[in-house]
C-alpha cells in the first residue's frame, strides 16, 4: 500500500506517495532525486547514508520514509551556501579529504552535527564523532584534518 | 537489501498502540527507534506482517524521578538518556554504558526500551537493567504488570513479554549514595557489538568494606548474565586487587560463553575475567 509522505528537505517542502516499506534513503534518492545521499551497507554499519533529521544525525537506511513524515531533513545537497561549496565542503576539498568520494556525504553530515554541537572540537572528539562512518580509501587522516580546518574557519 | 512488505500502523496514543498490539498479536513487530529492527528487516531476517510504529506515542518518552531512583519511558532516545542529569545521578551505570552503544547517529534514534525489548545478548542496556534490578513495566489492553529484570530476559532475542504486550517504562532503583559504576567492553572496533562486556557497580560502607556489588556480563551466552556468586563473594570484603581477582575467577565459572567466528568460548571466558577486574577497579568509589 502506498502512503503520502510530506516533509521539508533542505528547506523545501516536498511530498510524494511511497510504499510503506520505502526507506528514507531510497525516498530521498528515488522519489526526490537527491542522489547525494549514498547507500553502502543498508544495515546501519557504514554511515554513508547519514542525513540530519530534526537537527540530529540519523542513518537514512534505518528509517522508513513514513517515519520522517513532518520532519525537517538536511542532506548533503543542503550544505551548499548560495550555490557555492559550504565552509565544511571547501575545507574537505582543500584537505583532499576524499578519494573515491562514496563515503563523503555521510562524513559531512556527521561532521555537520558535530560542529553544530561543538564548534571547536579536539582531534580526539572529531575521531570519536566520525567513528560510525567507514572510509576505505583515505585512512581518515585527511578527513580529520578537514573537519578541524572547517572548525577553524568557523563552519 | 530492502525491507520486505508489511502493513504499517502508527498510533498516536498508548491506548491505540495497545489496541493494535492486541489486534495483531500473532504477527506484529513494534518499531521504536528502528536501530535493531530496521537492519533485521533490511537483511530479510524478520518478516512481520504488521509494523506498529510507536514513535509518535509521546507519552512513552520521558525521564522522571521514581521512588529514589529513576523511571525511563520506553521510547526515550538513548542520546537523551545519555544527556540526562537525573540518570547520571540516579543510575550512573546507565550513563556509563550508553556511549558504548553503536555511534551517535544510532543513539539519536535508538531507544532505551527498544534495546531492552530486543534483548540482544551482546547489548548493553539489557545487562544494565539486570544489574540494577530494574522493574520493567509491560502494558496490554487488559492492564499493566511489572516484570523484574531477572524474569525478563528468556534467551537469544527473547523476553517474557506476551505478544500483545508493550514495554512502556523501565524503573531503576537507586544504589546507595556515593557508589561507583563502570562499563567496559572488548570489541573489534569502537562501536561494534562487544565480544565480551562487563558492567559493575560497587558501594562501600563507612568502614570501607563492600556494602553492595553488581557484576553483569554481555556477549557470553543467549542473554546477559549476572554473576550472583561473585557478587556474594564481594559483599563484606575489602576492595583489593586480590579480592577482585578472586571474584573474577568465580564469575568465570558462572558464565558459559559459546564460540563463533569472532572469538572462541575459551577466549571469551578469559577476557570476561580480565574485564571484570578492570570494571570492578574502575567502579570502586
Give the number of beta-carbon pairs within 8 Å between A and B.
86
Are both B194 and B234 inside the same structural domain?
yes
> What gap in Å lies between CA B67 and CA A104, rounded to an integer?
48
Are both B165 and B211 inside the same structural domain?
no
CATH number of the domain bearing residue B74: 3.30.465.10
A81 touching B, CB under 8 A?
A: no
Q: Where are the domains of chain A?
A: 2-76, 87-152
Helix orientation angle between A87-94 and A141-152, rounded to the nearest 10 degrees: 130
Distance from CA of A66 to the nearest CA of B (A): 9
Contact between A58 and B109 using a beta-carbon 8 Å cutoff: yes
Closest-CA residue of chain A to B56: A67
Contact between A67 and B53 using a beta-carbon 8 Å cutoff: yes
**Residue B2 forms part of a structural domain:** no
> What gap in Å lies between CA B13 and CA B51, rounded to an integer?
16
> What gap in Å lies between CA B45 and CA B48, rounded to an integer?
10
- Of B203, B72, B58, the closest CA to residue B125 belongs to B72
pLDDT in tens, chain B (285 residues): 899 999 999 999 999 999 999 999 989 999 999 999 999 999 999 999 999 999 999 999 999 999 999 999 999 999 999 999 999 999 999 999 999 999 999 999 999 999 999 999 999 999 999 999 999 999 999 999 999 999 999 999 999 999 999 999 999 999 999 999 999 999 988 888 899 999 999 999 999 999 999 999 999 999 999 999 999 999 999 999 999 999 999 999 999 999 999 999 999 999 999 999 999 999 999
Are both B117 and B33 inside the same structural domain?
no
Domain of residue B111 covers 62-172
Closest-CA residue of chain B to A69: B56
> What gap in Å lies between CA A10 and CA B131, rounded to an integer?
44
Are both B206 and B154 inside the same structural domain?
no
For A59-84, what is the mean pLDDT? 97
Contact between A44 and B55 using a beta-carbon 8 Å cutoff: no
Contact between A59 and B7 using a beta-carbon 8 Å cutoff: no
Q: Quick check: ipTM above 0.90?
A: yes
The C-alpha cell 542529569 sits at: B85
Q: Which fold has domain A87-152?
A: DNA polymerase; domain 1 (1.10.150)
pLDDT per position as a tens digit, A3-50: 999 999 999 999 999 999 999 999 999 999 999 999 999 999 999 999
Q: Which three cell numbers stand for residue B143?
A: 492492564
Nearest to B105 among A23, A26, A50 (CB): A50
Q: B4: which chain A residues are within 8 Å (Cβ-Cβ)?
A: 21
CATH number of the domain bearing residue B271: 3.30.390.50
Is residue B245 within 8 A of residue B236, CB to CB? The reply is no
Question: What total of structural domains would you count in chain B?
Answer: 3
pLDDT of B109: 98
Q: B106: which chain A residues are within 8 Å (Cβ-Cβ)?
A: 44, 59, 132
Contact between B35 and A19 using a beta-carbon 8 Å cutoff: no
A55 touching B, CB under 8 A?
A: no
Homologous superfamily of the A2-76 domain (CATH): Beta-grasp domain (3.10.20.30)
Could you say which of B147, B172, B197 is where a domain stops? B172
Could you say which of B140, B172, B204 is where a domain stops? B172
Predicted TM-score (pTM) of this structure: 0.96
Are both B101 and B36 inside the same structural domain?
no
Q: A111: which chain B residues are within 8 Å (Cβ-Cβ)?
A: none
Closest-CA residue of chain B to A132: B103
Closest-CA residue of chain B to A3: B8
Q: Which residues of B touch A (CB under 8 A)?
A: 1-8, 10, 31, 34-35, 38-39, 41-43, 51, 53, 55, 79, 102-106, 108-109, 190-191
Contact between B7 and A1 using a beta-carbon 8 Å cutoff: yes
Are both B228 and B247 inside the same structural domain?
yes
The Cβ of residue A1 has, within 10 Å, a number of other Cβ atoms equal to 9
Q: Which of B1, B5, B105, B118 to mutate to test the interface with A (most CBs of A within 10 A)?
A: B105
Question: Could you tell me which residues come within 8 angstroms of residue B160 by beta carbon, excluding any fewer than 6 positions away?
Answer: B147, B151, B152, B154
Contact between A21 and B4 using a beta-carbon 8 Å cutoff: yes
Is residue B216 within 8 A of residue B128, CB to CB? The reply is yes
Q: Which three cell numbers stand for residue B54?
A: 510507536
Contact between B35 and A62 using a beta-carbon 8 Å cutoff: yes
pLDDT of A20: 97
Residue A109 has pLDDT above 90, yes or no: yes
**Residue B57 forms part of a structural domain:** no
Are both B159 and B206 inside the same structural domain?
no
**Residue B116 forms part of a structural domain:** yes
Closest-CA residue of chain A to B54: A67
CA distances from A54 to A13, B107, B182, B245 (A): 14, 14, 32, 48
pLDDT of B189: 83
Amino acid at each position: 500500500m502506498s502512503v503520502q509522505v510530506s516533509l521539508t528537505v533542505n528547506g523545501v517542502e516536498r511530498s510524494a506517495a511511497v510504499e510503506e516499506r520505502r526507506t528514507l534513503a531510497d525516498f530521498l534518492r528515488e522519489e526526490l532525486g537527491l542522489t547525494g545521499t549514498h547507500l553502502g551497507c543498508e544495515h546501519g554499519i557504514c554511515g554513508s547514508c547519514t542525513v540530519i533529521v530534526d537537527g540530529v544525525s540519523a542513518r537514512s537506511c534505518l528509517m522508513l520514509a513514513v517515519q520522517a513524515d513532518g520532519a525537517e531533513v538536511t542532506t548533503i545537497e543542503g550544505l551548499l551556501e548560495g550555490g557555492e561549496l559550504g565552509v565544511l565542503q571547501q575545507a574537505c576539498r582543500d584537505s583532499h579529504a576524499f578519494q573515491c568520494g562514496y563515503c563523503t556525504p555521510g562524513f559531512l553530515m556527521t561532521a555537520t552535527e558535530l560542529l553544530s554541537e561543538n564548534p571547536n572540537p579536539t582531534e580526539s572528539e572529531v575521531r570519536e564523532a566520525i567513528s560510525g562512518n567507514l572510509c576505505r580509501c583515505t585512512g581518515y587522516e585527511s578527513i580529520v584534518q578537514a573537519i578541524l580546518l572547517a572548525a577553524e574557519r568557523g563552519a | 537489501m530492502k525491507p520486505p512488505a508489511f502493513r504499517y500502523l502508527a498510533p498516536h496514543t498508548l491506548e491505540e498502540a495497545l489496541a493494535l498490539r492486541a489486534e495483531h498479536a500473532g504477527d506484529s513487530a513494534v518499531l521504536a527507534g528502528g536501530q535493531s529492527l530496521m537492519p533485521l528487516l533490511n537483511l530479510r531476517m524478520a518478516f512481520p506482517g504488521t509494523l506498529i510504529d510507536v514513535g509518535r506515542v509521546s507519552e512513552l518518552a520521558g525521564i522522571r524521578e521514581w521512588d529514589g531512583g529513576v523511571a525511563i519511558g520506553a521510547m526515550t532516545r538513548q542520546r537523551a538518556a545519555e544527556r540526562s542529569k537525573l540518570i547520571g545521578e540516579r543510575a550512573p551505570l546507565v550513563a556509563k554504558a550508553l556511549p558504548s552503544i553503536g555511534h551517535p547517529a544510532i543513539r539519536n534514534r535508538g531507544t532505551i526500551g527498544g534495546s531492552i525489548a530486543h534483548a540482544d545478548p551482546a547489548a548493553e542496556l539489557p545487562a544494565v537493567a539486570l544489574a540494577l534490578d530494574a522493574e520493567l513495566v509491560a502494558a496490554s489492553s487488559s492492564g499493566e504488570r511489572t516484570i523484574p529484570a531477572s524474569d525478563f530476559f528468556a534467551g537469544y532475542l527473547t523476553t517474557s513479554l506476551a505478544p500483545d504486550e508493550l514495554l512502556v517504562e523501565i524503573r531503576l532503583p537507586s544504589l546507595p549514595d556515593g557508589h561507583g559504576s563502570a562499563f567496559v567492553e572488548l570489541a573489534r572496533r569502537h562501536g561494534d557489538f562487544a565480544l565480551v562486556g562487563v558492567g559493575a557497580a560497587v558501594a562501600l560502607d563507612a568502614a570501607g568494606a563492600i556494602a553492595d556489588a553488581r557484576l553483569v556480563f554481555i556477549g557470553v551466552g543467549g542473554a546477559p548474565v549476572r554473576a550472583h556468586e561473585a557478587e556474594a563473594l564481594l559483599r563484606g570484603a575489602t576492595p583489593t586487587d586480590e579480592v577482585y581477582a578472586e571474584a573474577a575467577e568465580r564469575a568465570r565459572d558462572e558464565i558459559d560463553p559459546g564460540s563463533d567466528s569472532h572469538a572462541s568460548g575459551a577466549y571469551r571466558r578469559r577476557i570476561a575475567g580480565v574485564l571484570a577486574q578492570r570494571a570492578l577497579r574502575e567502579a570502586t568509589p
